[in-house]
Amino acid sequence: MAALILPTPEGGLQGYRLTGTPVPLARRRAADFPRIAYAATHVVADPLAVHDPWLSPAIDWERTLAFRHRLWDLGLGVAEAMDTAQRGMGLGWPEAQELIRRALAEAAGRDDALIACGAGTDHLSPGDGVTIDDILRAYDEQFEVIEGYGGRIIMMASRALAAAARGPDDYARVYDHVLSNAAEPVIIHWLGENFDPALAGYWGHHDHMAAMDVALDVIGAHADKVDGIKISLLSKEKEIAMRRRLPDGVRMYTGDDFNYAELIAGDDTGHSDALLGIFDAIAPAASAALEALGRGDDSAFHALLAPTVPLSRHIFAAPTRFYKTGVVFMAYLNGLQDHFTMVGGQQSARSLQHLAELFRLADAAGCLADPDEAVARMARVLAVHGVTE
C-alpha cells in the first residue's frame, strides 16, 4: 500500500502506510434511499483569477457545478449556497445568487436532481440601526430571487436577527411573516453557535431547550409551510427531543455532523432525514450506506457509515466554523479539484497537523477514492509546509 511521512499531533514526523479500502462509486437515484439526504455543498475557488482573495471571491464555475452533478449521480440532493459554501465566510449574496441561478439551471436539465437553496439576510450587515422591518425586507428579497428561479428554499438563520431581536416575539414576528408569504414549504435551518458564534441566543434564548419551545411554536403555527427543520446543535439528545415533538408531516433533517449515523438510522419513535456538510466530503460512503438502508441491510448501513463518524468529528472539531477547510481538503485529495485553495483564503484556517489527522481518518473510513493519488496530493501540501522525505 501507499505510504508517506505525516506530522503527528505531538509535533513530530512519522511514517504512515495506508490501509483503507475505498468505497466504490456507484450511480444511484434519490428514490433508492429511505431517507431524504441533502449534501450541503462547497464551492470551488479559482486560484488563477486576478482578484484580491480576502475582498472578492473568484469561483471556478465549471468545477463547482461538476461537483453538484457528482452528488446527483450518487443519489444525493444538493443544499445550495449554505454555510458549507462559505455563506458569511467569503461568499456574499451576489455570488450566492449567481451560484443558485447556475445550480438550478443545471438541475433543470436532469430528471433526478434534488436541490434546495439557502435564503437568508447576509446582504444586510448587523448593526445598531438594523430594525426588524429591515430583516423582513432582506428575507423577502432573497426568497423572491430564489422563488423567481423556481427554487425550493432553506430558510437560513439570520445574524442580523440575532443581533436585533429583543426576545422570542421578534423571532415569531419574522418567521410568521416569511413563512406566511413563502410560495412552497421551506426547510428551516437552526444553526447553533458552535457553527456561528454570532447566532448565540437564537430564538430569543441561550438555553437550547427554551429556544426549542419557540421554534416549535413557530412550526406549529405554520406546519403547512414547513417541510422540515434542520438543527445543527451537535447534540443527538436535543435533536431527538425536538424530533419527537414535531407536527405530523414535518421532517427533522439532521445537521449533527457528530452523530448522523445513528440519527438517520432512527429508533422506535422515528428517524431523521439528512442535510449535512459532511456528506459533501463522504458522498460515496453516504450514498452506499443509504442504499443499504433502503434494502433493509442495517448492518451494511452501519459498516459503511460508522467509520466516517470519527473523520466527521475531526473535520467539525472546534472551532467548528472552520470545518469548510476539511471539506475542501477532501475534495482536493479525491481529485475533484486541482488545488487546495478556498474562497477568502480559508485553506489556512486549519493546521498541518489537523490536515494530517484528517488524511489518516479518511483512509480508515475508505473515503480516499484513489490512495496513490491522495498520497501524491498530500505530499504536495506537506512540501509547501517544508515537510519532505
Q: What is the DSSP string of 175-190?
A: HHHHHHH-SS-EEEEE
- For residues 253, 256, 262 and 266, what is the CA-based torsion angle, rounded to 10 degrees? -20
Q: Is residue 376 part of a domain?
A: no
Count of domains for the chain:
1
Residues 169-199 have pLDDT tens digits of 999 999 999 999 999 999 999 999 999 999 9
Q: CB-based contacts of 28: which residues, under 8 Å, 6+ apart?
A: 73, 74, 75, 287, 291
Residues 16-29 have pLDDT tens digits of 999 999 999 999 99
Q: Is residue 375 part of a domain?
A: no
**Could you list the residue range(s) of the whole structural domain that residue 302 is in?**
28-354
pLDDT, mean of residues 262-271? 96
CATH number at residue 153: 3.20.20.70
Q: Is residue 359 part of a domain?
A: no
- Residue 232 Cα distances to 41, 56, 193, 313, angstroms: 16, 28, 9, 13
Q: Is residue 179 part of a domain?
A: yes
Identify the burial level of 109 via C-beta atoms within 10 angstroms of its C-beta, where 0-12 means exposed, 13-18 middle and 19 or more buried.
Answer: exposed
* 3-state percent breakdown (helix, strand, coil) of the chain, nearest 5: 50, 15, 40
pLDDT for position 193 = 97
pLDDT, mean of residues 228-235? 97
Q: Is residue 20 part of a domain?
A: no
Q: Is residue 304 part of a domain?
A: yes
Percent of the chain with pLDDT over 70: 100
Q: Is the dihedral of CA 202, 206, 209, 211 positive or negative?
A: negative
pLDDT, mean of residues 148-168? 97
- What pTM was estimated for this model as a whole? 0.97
pLDDT for position 256 = 98
pLDDT, mean of residues 263-284? 97
- Average pLDDT across the chain, whole number: 97
Residues 78-105 have pLDDT tens digits of 999 999 999 999 999 999 999 999 999 9
Identify the burial level of 267 via C-beta atoms within 10 angstroms of its C-beta, where 0-12 means exposed, 13-18 middle and 19 or more buried.
Answer: exposed
> In the structure grid, which three cell numbers stand for residue 150, read together?
423556481
Distance CA 111, CA 298 (A): 29
Q: Is residue 90 part of a domain?
A: yes
Binning pLDDT at 50, 70 and 90, where does residue 53 land?
confident
Q: Is residue 387 part of a domain?
A: no
Binning pLDDT at 50, 70 and 90, where does residue 1 land?
low
pLDDT, mean of residues 315-328? 98
> In the structure grid, which three cell numbers stand for residue 220, read together?
406549529
Backbone angles phi, psi at 3, to 5 degrees: -145, 160
> In the structure grid, which three cell numbers stand for residue 306, read together?
460508522
